[in-house]
Amino acid sequence: MQERLSDREIAAPAGQSRTRDRRFWLLAALPLLVVFDVIAYVFVPPFPPGQPGAECQFPVCYINGNFEFPAPATVIGQAPPTGQILSFTPGISSTLLTMWIIGGAMLIAAFFLGRLRKPVPGRIQNFSEWAYESIRNFGLSIGGSEAAPYIPIFAAFFLLILFCNWAGLVPPIGKVEFLRAPTSDVNITIGLALTSFFIFEAEGFRKLGVRGYLGKFFPIYEFRNGIGAGLIAMFVGLIELMLEFVKPVTLSMRLFGNIYAGEVAIGVITSLTIVFVPVALLLLEGMLNLIQAVIFSVLSLVFILTAIESHHGEEGHIAEEAMHGREAHPAPVPAN
Amino acid sequence: MNDVPGLGAYLALFSEIGLVLFVTTMAGALAGHWLDLQLGTNPILVVCGFLGGAAIGAFGDYRLIRTFLNRF
Amino acid sequence: MEHFGAGLAAMGVIGPGIGIGILGGLAAGAIGRNPDAGGQIRGLAIILAGFAEGLGVLAIVVGLLTIFITS
């Protein structure tokens, strides 16, 4: 029985000019790219930042033109004074503007995607359902079934940080004055980490009550075993309280360090080797940005789950499930 | 990716161990240096702060690994 | 001169790098030879890698302190 041929196969049978066309155009595009770069270099030569037309030597001036400083450029308001580490100058920076644009686009997309309710889904609805379900399954495999109320927070952190990280790799956003990747700025990553911190602290206080949550750090009942055991327990609780405040610091510094270092590396490599090598670095940075978004959201979810567990009785339960997947502890089947 | 259960948890743990130790040690050393400048005893408190910070960071790593493995 | 000291201190991260590499190789070989003990070997490897990484972090912190603490 003859197989049904699609229209494309009738027009050009398999093995002939179809694949040759694709490979041919790909191989022809590479010298065209080099020619385009040479023409651009001849007509618009690189100049030192701020002085168009001046002469530019090869390594140093090129790197200076592509280097990105840690402090973002200010769009509205006055620029903060240079040389100070901490200063308070209210204004709107380029990273904040980019974050509003990305957040606004995500809100509009979410609003319109939420209104698709067809029983037989079209392509867009199918894709958005698949995306949300895969994020949900990933979160449930990390946290177990009790992580189900916190999946929207997990998905929100993941998608926001993913798009904010990947925005730094899109060509205009590094070089235009008023656009910059939001998470390459210390202020924004500190804000995200503080948001996560307040969320898991508030969830802990809400689930266990004030006395229950503080009782996790300072177990008063240990004084029943003797004054020495009680004092040791209090000391350990004090250290645990200090470590609680280290968590948002590590969250923010990890995200900032990875994204900012990636941007600087792409800028320097692009200025030194202008074609073909930055593509490899762009793909590497794309993968690393995805991993950083996964790490931030997974750690936020694990911190929320650690904050709401009742007491030290089941200390290793949550993250052990995270390590060994759901098959290590299957949910108990109700007997009926 | 689905055949390694908990890959995201491993990635998170790997970066968290080093960073907790780093942040606590630096915080302890800088706090020791600030106290040094206030009290005048120059290199002693920096070293004390460094070691104390490293100890707190090691304790935090111990709790982190115990929460993630629950073995031994 | 502080920057030379910082560079020399940062070379102390070579040790943990070699250590974690050897540990990872032996752990992968052990899991390959005996896949049923995979969970225990994985747990032991993570703990020991955490120890080695802590020593590398201490070397980095010493290097940073020589730059930022000048008195």
Judged by CB atoms closer than 8 Å, whether chains meet at C50 and B37 is answered as no
A256 vs B3: which has the higher pLDDT: A256
Q: Rounded to whole angstroms, how far apart are CA atoms A304 and A298?
A: 10
Q: In this predicted model, what pLDDT tens digit does every residue of A143-201 receive, in sequence order?
A: 888 889 999 999 999 999 999 999 988 888 877 888 889 999 899 999 999 999 999 99
Mean pLDDT, to the nearest integer, of C64-70? 82
Judged by CB atoms closer than 8 Å, whether chains meet at C46 and B50 is answered as no
Give pLDDT tens digits for C4-36. Answer: 989 999 899 999 999 999 999 999 999 999 999
CA distance A153 to A203: 12
Interface touch C54/B37, C-beta < 8 Å: no
Phi, psi of C23 (to 5 degrees): -60, -45
Question: Is residue A233 a contact partner of residue A217, using CB atoms and an 8 Å limit?
Answer: no
Q: How far is B2 from chain C (nearest CA, A)?
A: 17
Query: Chain B: nearest CA to A288, how far in angstroms?
Result: 11
Rg of the Cα trace of chain C? 17
Which pLDDT score is estimated for A279?
A: 87
The more confidently predicted of residues C50 and A193 is A193
Check B65 against C71: CB less than 8 A apart.
Answer: no
Number of CB atoms found within 10 A of residue B12's CB:
26
pLDDT for A32:
85
State the pLDDT at residue A10. Answer: 64
Task: Say yes or no for a CB contact (<8 Å) between A323 and B9.
Answer: yes
Contacts 24+ apart (CB under 8 A), A93-96: A93/A185, A93/A187, A94/A177, A94/A178, A94/A179, A94/A180, A95/A180, A95/A181, A95/A182, A95/A184, A95/A185, A95/A187, A95/A188, A96/A72, A96/A182, A96/A188
- Taking an 8 Å cut-off on Cβ atoms, the answer to whether B12 and A242 are in contact is no
Q: What is the dihedral of CA B57, B58, B61, B62, to 10 degrees?
A: -140
Residue A316, pLDDT score:
46
Angle subtended by helix axes C38-68 and B7-39, to nearest 10: 30
**Which residue is listed with tokens 């189900």?**
A148
| Residues 6+ away with beta carbon under 8 Å from C11 | none
C40 touches chain B (CB under 8 A): yes
ipTM: 0.85
Q: Does B68 touch chain C (CB under 8 A)?
A: yes
Residue among B29, B50, B65 whose CB faces C47 most closely = B65
Please give the pLDDT value at position A327. Answer: 47
Taking the Cβ of residue A315 and every Cβ of chain B, the question of whether any pair is shorter than 8 Å is answered with: yes
pLDDT at residue A74 in the model: 82
C31 in contact with B, Cβ within 8 Å: no
Give the per-residue pLDDT at A314.
46
pLDDT number for residue B46: 82
Helical spans, DSSP H, in chain B: 7-39, 42-69
Q: Do C53 and B17 lie within an 8 Å CB cutoff?
A: yes
Q: Please write the tens of the pLDDT for every residue from B5-59.
A: 567 778 888 888 889 999 999 999 988 888 888 887 777 788 888 888 999 998 8
Distance from CA of C61 to the nearest CA of B (A): 7
Q: What is the mean pLDDT of each run of 10 residues along chain A (336 residues)?
A: 63 58 82 84 75 73 78 80 79 90 94 85 88 91 85 94 92 83 91 94 88 81 74 86 91 93 89 83 93 92 85 53 53 52
**Nearest neighbour of B19 by CB, restricted to A239, A243, A250:** A250
pLDDT recorded at residue A194:
95
> CB neighbours (10 Å) of residue A212?
13
Probe site for chain B from C23, C44, C69, C70 (most B CB atoms < 10 A):
C69
Instruction: Round to whole Å and give the CA distance between A201 and A308.
Output: 9
Nearest CA to A239 out of C33, C47, C2, B60 is that of B60
